[in-house]
Structure 1
């Protein structure tokens, strides 16, 4: 699942591939934005944790599940 996080006052967005489902990401975002002074915590496919202060989150885009590529060349 591709997740893009826009951060206020940052020129680039954070893009991660997460093993979490869309519902898990959505609930994590909703709970972080519901409380002041908390962190949005997501985990990527390699087990790394991404922490963003919830008051700095501009937007979160939850994409489709990434299809596994097979083969050596792009078709």
Structure 2
């Protein structure tokens, strides 16, 4: 799953590719947002991200899309 997190006062977003299911990740993020705490996410390569939730504007959780390589038309 790809998790895109947008923050207040910045045009950049954080993208984390995680192995969890959409339901698990949604529950984890909702719990952290409700308590105005921090959320800890791990990506599929083992890196951990600790994010303060007070500056989060939006969170998008969806399946990862494979990137097309080459010039072949679809």
* TM-score interval for Structure 1 and Structure 2 normalised by the shorter chain: 0.7 to 0.9
Query: 2:10 and 2:24 mapped to 1: Cα distance?
Result: 25
Unaligned runs of 5+ in 2: none
Cα distance change, pair 73–8 in 1 and its aligned pair in 2 (3 A)? same
- Normalized against structure 2, the TM-score is what? 0.80
Cα displacement (A) at 1:32: 0.4
| 2:13 is the counterpart of 1:13 | yes
| 2:30 is the counterpart of 1:30 | yes
For 2:61, the equivalent position in structure 1 comes to 62
**4+ aligned runs moved over 2 Å, structure 1:** 65-69, 72-75
Q: Say what the alpha-carbon RMSD is for the aligned residues.
A: 2.0
Contact between 1:2 and 1:62, CA under 8 Å: does it hold in 2?
yes
- Normalized against structure 1, the TM-score is what? 0.79
Contact between 2:40 and 2:51, CA under 8 Å: does it hold in 1?
yes
Unaligned runs of 5+ in 1: none
